[in-house]
Structure 1
Amino acid sequence: MTTPAAAFRRRARRPDWAGRNYTLLTAAATVTNLGTHGALIAAAFAVLQSGGDGGDVGLVAAARTLPLVLFLLIGGAVADRLPRHRVMVAANALNCLSQAAFAVLVLAGDPQLWQMMLLTALCGTGHAFFNPAAEGMLMSSVSGEQASRAFALFRMAVHGAAIGGAALGGALIAAIGPGWVLAVDAAAFAVAGALRAFLDVSHVRAREPGGGLLSDLRDGWKEFSSRPWLWAVVAQFSVVVAVVGAAESVYGPLVARDELGGAGPWGMALAAFGVGTLGGALLMTRWQPRRMLLAGTLCVFPLATPSAALAVPLPVAGLAAVMLLSGVAIEVFGVAWMTALHQEIPQDMLSRVSAYDWFGSVAMLPLATALAGPAESLLGRRESLWGCAALVIVVTAAVLYVPDVRNLTRRTKQVAAAKPSADAERAVGRLG
């Protein structure tokens, strides 16, 4: 006879797919996002507090982005060559030390611009090595038909922490100053690194001796370029991320200042986007579209609507509604994309393929943000925003012409049973 206590324990027990590695990865990502999103705001205010202007804030932001672009591919190759959890812990240690040094400089008073740029660049370098390793580790920590739900819940936790971290960071900056928020971020990296040190890699197959780093990069490129759906979507997002980033980081604040009443309305719109990402992740815990890439790609079209709303511009309530919709849409795509990578890419290639994915997606972002101002001067702000919206629609419609994007299908147990060799390949080192 089952006792009530035993029944409760069975109900409370975590699902089979939420193993130790998945739980540790989710907890660590939540901790780092709580710290990082407050620290991004704190870094900008630290620059302004030291006497810098908007141009200086942009230089510090660029110092974070440039190493991310430069070292992503190397980071992906390293993460597939070394144990991924060690790469993640080392990257967290670098982030912890750089943010701690940044905090000390700010708290001591009168930090120099070059010092802030250098420390921010070190932080960006850490992310370049961390991101491919983390994505490969996450995708290899779950298996079976629940992978999509696992990715959705992970993203929901991360986005919730990002929203909370930004709100908490803003409040702490006002109360105690940016230096202490940077110190909190350093502590968050230390805690997250400690959690990731406990990841279980005992069942990972030892890497066979092979070529050097360049050989690994070539193998990753072959894997990446051999799949039309993969490189086509990454090429699409190189444009989408660039124009959406330019619209939201450059034109959005300007429209808010000139036509919507200031920073408050723009903050409300960004908060609506964050709520939308949570809603989209929650939706994907229940919905598992059979043609996952088709569903995800169709949900990229709404990403054109924020640029269009800023071009009109819509009132604050309308803009917030549009941002909410785009937040839901990008999460549907994000979960579908992670599920496709998890299903189709061999485990020992995950980090290298993820690095090419990250690199392609962010490579044009610095150029787009740099050209946003000249484009406004040449064409006008509204025309530039309509151009951003049009580019999203055009490249998304174009990628639907790729047959594999339309037809890639989620595998069921029956299909998987008919293809044991593919299953065996993905099962190797599942806890890597």
Structure 2
Amino acid sequence: MDKQQIFSLLKQGNVTKISIAYFISFFGTAMAPIAMAFGVLELTGSTKDSAIVIAAPITGSIIIMLLGAAIADRTSRKAMIVVADIIAMLAQLIIACLFIFEQANIVNLTILMLINGIAFGLHAPAAMGLIPQLVKKKDLQGTNAIVGIARSSAMILGAAAGGILVATFGAGMTLLIDTGTFALATFLVISLRPSKQIKSQGESIIQELKLGWKEFTSRKWLWVIVVQFCFIVASVEAVYGLIGPAVAKDQMGGAADWGLIAAAIGAGTIVGGIASFYMRFTHPLKVATLTSFSFSFISLALIMPLQLHWIMLAAFLGGIGWEMFSILWTTTLHQAIPSHMLSRVSAYDHIGSIGLAPLGIVVAGFLYESLGFQIVLILCALTVIIPTVLVYCVREVREFEVANLETEENPEASSAQPTN
């Protein structure tokens, strides 16, 4: 994709609006995990207790995601995103006030983080299905890359700001700012004008979910990679959400250092997003699988731990790999999965990928206190490396090719009448 094509995409109102919405939303999203991790660690002083709170939103998203996906495919994906963001905004506002007024405890934080996770479970499959309604199929990878760069830029600034804000003003004020970003992003989503949604016509939600499951399991490359990510996400969430901040607090310079490490991840994702503009691969899932090895780099760098600049380099390389995987994977799903099935298939993808994450976080929290951070980080790195090696051995993954769709129109994006 050349610069002219990039600017042509940016001239499209939907692409510009969704990119700005992602930038604003992920600026706050990058601050929130830092604020929650250090806020809860300061509150409890225990990684075991903190793990329960940090695992709660993932549990909430698992509970609701399939239902949310079926509803999104039957009704309006855009409306589903708006509702989900409002729920998340209100939950985050209450959490911020609890920290500010020193009323936070494990019980109320766990409940509110569970609600936050439910909001994400409603948002994620609807968002996956909405992108193909905004652009033509030939523009999907370019649009995903633009959105990815917006997200990555926000992650850099938000993570750096989050570390500084938490260290200076505390978790409550940082989360209050995050609440404002939800409101702005929601306003932009409301202003989107997606094409007419091809809605699922199943007799019932149960039937819808059965059809989605059949679509999901019929593609070996799809479910094999989802199983791989069930382990990878458990490792990544444990490291980024709990163990990394705990190591930064106990062995390094605290929230400010972890903010810089998180910003380095964001910087890497920008490079990965830019690279995805220009790279086209005959076998995209083969390349995506190879990038997965980079997700272990930050765990390996924290084992010693290395000096801050080396950890930031590991985080940077991991960010490049994460964004390249994300764009290749998302574009593959957009191209290979029928549009009316996309939210449901993506829900099975999300649930499968995050299914072990709550357990991974809780186990990591217990092992941190019983075995020490080094053993936990070695286990986290192996939990990334071993499944990735096994998936690379699967022929359907290495040889997968997406048909040439550059000249095809996306039926959802080329419909004449917009809809909500």
1:142 aligns with 2:135: yes
TM-score normalised by structure 1 residue count? 0.84
Structure 2: distance between partners of 1:220 and 1:331: 26
Q: Which residue of 1 aligns with 2:389?
A: 397
Distance 1:153 1:84, change over 3 A: same
Partner of 2:264: 272
Alpha-carbon contact 1:32-1:188 (below 8 Å) kept: yes
**In 2, Cα distance between the equivalents of 1:150 and 1:427?**
17
**Secondary structure of the corresponding residue to residue 282 of structure 2:** coil
Match of residue 185 from structure 2: 192
Cross-structure match for 1:427: 411
CA distance in 2, matches of 1:308, 1:56: 25
* 1:220 and 1:352 in contact (8 A); partners too: yes
Task: Name the amino acid aligned to 1:296.
Answer: A
Q: Aligned pair 1:227/2:211, yes or no?
A: no
- For residue 326 of structure 1, what is the amino acid of its counterpart? G
Deviation at 1:331, TM superposition (A): 1.3
- The 3-state SS of whatever aligns with 1:427 is coil
From 342, 345, 349, the equivalent of 2:341 is: 349
Secondary structure of 1:289's partner? Answer: coil
CA contact (8 A) 1:17 1:146 kept: no
CA distance in 1, matches of 2:87, 2:114: 11
Counterpart secondary structure, 1:200? coil
The one-letter amino acid of 1:321's match is L
Q: Which residue of 1 aligns with 2:52?
A: 59
Deviation of 1:324 after TM superposition, in Å, equals: 1.6
Provide the C-alpha distance between the structure 1 equivalents of 2:333 and 2:9, rounded to a whole number of angstroms: 21
Alignment equivalent of 1:359, drawn from 351, 357, 361: 351
Matched, 1:212 2:194: no
Separation of aligned partners in 2, 1:311 and 1:172: 27
Q: Could you tell me whether the CA contact under 8 Å between 2:84 and 2:119 is conserved in 1?
A: yes
1:176–1:267: structure 2 CA closer, same or farther, 3 Å change rule? closer
> Residue 209 and residue 203 in structure 1: after superposition, are their counterparts in 2 closer, same or farther (change >3 A)?
closer
How many positions carry a matched residue from both structures? 413
Q: Quick check: 1:150–1:285 contact (8 Å CA) kept in 2? A: no
Task: Please give the root-mean-square deviation of Cα atoms over the aligned residues, in Å.
Answer: 3.1
Is structure 2 residue 282 aligned with structure 1 residue 282? no
Aligned residue number for residue 113 of structure 2: 120
In 2, the alpha carbon distance for the partners of 1:44 and 1:397 equals: 31
- TM superposition shift of 1:250: 4.4
Amino acid in the other structure paired with 1:81: R
Aligned to 1:303: 295
Q: Is the 8 A contact 2:74 2:200 kept in 1?
A: no
Structure 1 residue 178 displacement after superposition: 4.0
SS in 2 for 1:110: coil
Mean Cα displacement is larger for which, 221-230 or 62-71? 62-71
| CA separation of 1:18 and 1:340: change in aligned 2, threshold 3 A | farther
Instruction: Confirm or deny: 8 A CA contact 1:79 1:133 kept in the other structure.
Output: yes
Letter of the 2:331 partner, please give it.
T
User: Alpha-carbon deviation of 1:282?
Assistant: 1.4
1:166 aligned onto 2:150: no
Q: Shift in Å at residue 329 of structure 1?
A: 1.2
User: Residues 40-189 of structure 1: matches in 2 within 5 Å?
Assistant: 40-44=33-37, 47=40, 52-54=44-46, 55-173=48-166, 177-189=170-182
Alpha carbons of 1:271 and 1:75: their partners in 2 closer, same or farther (altered >3 Å)? same
Same amino acid, percent of matched pairs? 34
Structure 1 residues 180 and 361: alpha-carbon distance in aligned structure 2, compared to 1, 3 A threshold: same
Quickly say closer, same or farther: Cα 1:15–1:131, change in 2 above 3 A.
same
Q: Secondary structure at the residue paired with 2:156?
A: helix
Distance 1:346 1:171, change over 3 A: same
CA distance in 1, matches of 2:366, 2:318: 27
Q: Give the Cα separation in 1 of the matches to 2:118 and 2:197.
A: 26
Q: Which moved more, 1:276-285 or 1:139-148?
A: 139-148
Q: Displacement, 1:69?
A: 1.7
Cα distance in 1 for residues equivalent to 2:167 and 2:76: 41
DSSP-derived class of the 2:14 partner: helix
User: What is the CA distance between 1:179 and its match in structure 2?
Assistant: 3.7
- Going from structure 1 to structure 2, the CA distance change for 1:379 and 1:212 (only over 3 Å counts) comes to same
Q: Distance in 2 between matches of 1:186 and 1:250?
A: 22
Larger Rg: 1
Letter in 1 for 2:400: L
Shift in Å, 1:29: 1.7
The question of 1:39 aligning with 2:32 is answered: yes
